[in-house]
Amino acid sequence: MEELELLRKWLETLVAGLDAEVDERTRTQVMEYCGRAYALHHGNIEKVKAIKRSAKEIDELLGKLNQQENFWCGKWVRDGDTIYSVCEDCGCPLVRAGLVELSPTFCDCSRDWVKAVFETIFGRPAEVGLEQAIGRGDQVCEFTVRFEEKSGS
């Protein structure tokens, strides 16, 4: 069995085991760790830090994020104190690479990737919601990030 196929089978078994044997809260926490680790180790956080240093305000920062090639599956749009993104295709790199099937389990990984990115941007905890998810049977993935602008920012 070639290594890529072995990895695909291993990941498939891991997800099946998480889904069958682990309570939802623990499964969510494990996938959140994975999303944060992906953001950190894939270089996303370093890109965000560089953009943050060059942007003076949140709208400028979002514009620069949206210009990054292969950074995210949709555009980030600000509406008052909420930032949102709608992805018409699953943004999970493991799904796109064919290493895993669509699964609601992986949606928590993506949500925490978003959380890690925006906590880096804001320099404080971010409230991230996953309103819709292709992996959960919806037509799109919709992420929301709520924030309060700090005075003097």
148 vs 105: CA distance, rounded Å: 29
Q: Give per-residue pLDDT as tens, 60-106.
A: 999 999 999 888 999 999 999 999 999 999 999 899 888 998 989 98
Q: Give per-residue pLDDT as tens, 114-130.
A: 999 999 999 999 999 99
Report the CATH superfamily, name and number, of domain 3-146: Trafficking protein particle complex subunit 3 (3.30.1380.20)
Q: Give per-residue pLDDT as tens, 128-144.
A: 999 999 999 999 999 99
Q: What residue spans define the domains of the chain?
A: 3-146
**DSSP 8-state secondary structure symbol assigned to residue 143:** E
- φ, ψ (nearest 5 deg) of residue 19: -65, -40
Tell me the pTM. Answer: 0.89
Q: Is the pLDDT of residue 149 over 70?
A: no
Structural tokens at position 128: 């991230």
Q: 143 and 128 in contact (C-beta within 8 Å)?
A: yes
**H-type helices in the chain, by residue range?**
3-21, 24-41, 44-54, 58-67, 93-96, 104-122
Sequence-separated contacts (24+) of 129-133 with Cβ below 8 Å: 133/104, 133/107
Query: Across residues 3-30, what is the average pLDDT?
Result: 93
